[in-house]
Amino acid sequence: MHISEGILSLPVLVSGAIISGTGTYIGLKDLKYEEYPKIALLTSSFFVASLIHVPIGSTSVHLVLNGLLGILCGWKSFPSILIALFLQGVIFQFGGLTTLGINTANMAIPAVLSYYLFRPLLKRNIFLSGFLSGFFSIIFSCFLVCFSLYLTEYYFLNMAKMFFISHFPVALIEGIITGLILRFLKKANLI
């Protein structure tokens, strides 16, 4: 769900950079040394999961795992996603540096919301909590990407609709994968 460079308007790019900068500051403020390995592992999972693209029409779909990142890390998702997207932009030219802020915001906001909405459910039903987190994060990220396109140019609305519809099956798959990963982590006493 990367928005490439040269598409979005300057106000959208600046807003995304401000939101991502603020979220990254909040995420780094309370980061403890003991959390580095967990954050690094989840950052690399996010990085790798979103490298496998399946083309659909004028867009492509891929796993993201921002719901998993969000439910386990909360606000620390912002710096984690920022680093992963920066590396993808520099190494593989996915997204770009000017869109780094808005792309980070579009992925990290749903991750943080998943933390607050579905983390309390972990104690009662771990798979359901993971499924809802993964599903919600993809759907809301798609909405934010579509909204970013719409704010730039009204003519992007038709492309945004197709983009949203094409990501619905990905949201279901992401929900299942996130639920299974959380169930495994619970059985291994890692969460």
55-90 residue pLDDT tens: 766 666 778 899 999 999 999 999 999 999 999 989
> Is residue 47 over pLDDT 70?
yes
> Is residue 139 over pLDDT 90?
yes
Longest Cα separation, the chain: 50
Report CA-CA distances (Å) from 45 to 29, 40, 65, 68: 23, 9, 7, 10
> Is residue 51 over pLDDT 90?
no
Segment 31-43 mean pLDDT: 93
Comparison of pLDDT for 13 and 4, the residue scoring more = 13
**The most confident of 114-128, 143-157, 163-177, by mean pLDDT:** 114-128
Segment 178-182 mean pLDDT: 95
pLDDT, mean over the chain: 89
Tokens of 10: 């300057």
pTM of the predicted structure, to 2 decimals: 0.91
- Contact between 88 and 43 (Cβ < 8 Å): no
Q: Write the DSSP assignment of 125-178 as a string of letters.
A: -HHHHHHHHHHHHHHHHHHHHHHHHHHH-GGGHHHHHHHHHHTHHHHHHHHHHH
Task: Give the pLDDT band of residue 7 (cuts 50, 70, 90).
Answer: confident
The confidence score (pLDDT) of residue 154 equals 67
Comparison of pLDDT for 181 and 168, the residue scoring more = 181
93-125 residue pLDDT tens: 887 889 999 999 999 999 999 999 999 999 899
Set out the domains of the chain in order of their start, with CATH numbers: 10-183 (1.10.1760.20)
> Is residue 164 over pLDDT 80?
no
H/E stretch holding 55: strand 54-56
> Is residue 180 over pLDDT 90?
yes
